[in-house]
Amino acid sequence: MVQPLNVLTETASQTAGPYVHIGLMPTYAGNAGYYDAEIGTSPIADGAKGQVIEIVGSVYDGTGWALRDALIESWQADAEGRFAGQDGADPAVSGHCRFAADAITGEFTLRTVKPGRVPSRYGRAFAPHISLWVVARGINIGLQTRIYFEDEDNEGDPLLSRIEQRPRVQTLIAKKTGDGRYRFDIRLQGEGETVFLDI
């Protein structure tokens, strides 16, 4: 026998299920007015510094069908690369948003400011990116991924550099569709499968 480590194990994940919106987005679930203030309705307030952008996309399953019941959360830095709560962070950027795929079209929209570069612990900065966490029926543990931008300098990004199959890097890069507008599709499985993270 050896001494006990006395460390705990993380609680096991379970799927968010088909009715996740009741708890996290009551208005979307048809229960408007449940709370006085819903959480994560926008990552920015009026006056947020930087370029306001809009990212549109869908979450596709392995058959190419867009999920109608996906819920996504985003987390990002402000235009200067500072996260809410850090010294000097833009008070108009909460950085956190919850959004859902439309029940008819399966398309989501994230309206935010483009984040700045974020320093890493070991020197090289991360290129501007938005972290995503995707949950839905059929997803047993939330899937983490990131949005990068095709009109930013992504060379040397510590995360993108680690992707062995270089064509897969493109699955994390939002494509520009207009001034301040981007397209970012998430493919859960199969051809063009998005890179998901264990981080």
Partner 1 sequence: MTDLGPLIPRNREAHPDAYFPDYKTSVARSPNLPLLTMESGPSEETGPTFGHSAIGALDNNLILNWTKGAAPAVGERILMHGRVLDENARPVPNTLVEIWQANAGGRYRHKKDSYLAPLDPNFGGCGRTLTDENGCYQFLTIRPGAYPWPNRGNDWRPMHIHISVYGHSFGQRLITQMYFEGDPLIPLCPIAATIRNRSQLDRLVAPLDMAHSRPLDYLAYKFDIVLRGRRQTMFENKIEGM
Q: Kindly write down the DSSP assignment for every residue of 137-177, as one continuous string.
A: TT-SSPEEEEEEETTS--TT-TTGGG-SSGGGGGGGEEEEE
Q: Could you tell me which stretch among 37-45, 49-57, 104-112, 147-155 binds partner 1 (CB under 8 A)?
A: 37-45
46 binds partner 1 per the rule CB under 8 A: no
One residue of 100, 159, 173, 174 binding partner 1 per CB under 8 A: 159
| Amino acid sitting at position 174 | A
45 binds partner 1 per the rule CB under 8 A: no
* CA within 13 Å, CB half, 165: 9
One residue of 54, 141, 156, 177 binding partner 1 per CB under 8 A: 141
One residue of 51, 105, 140, 170 binding partner 1 per CB under 8 A: 140
For the CB of residue 166, give the shortest distance to partner 1 in the complex, in Å.
13
Is 140 within 8 Å of 15 (Cβ atoms)?
yes
Buried b (16+ CB within 10 A) or exposed e, 12-25: eeeebeeebbeebb
104 binds partner 1 per the rule CB under 8 A: no
66 binds partner 1 per the rule CB under 8 A: no
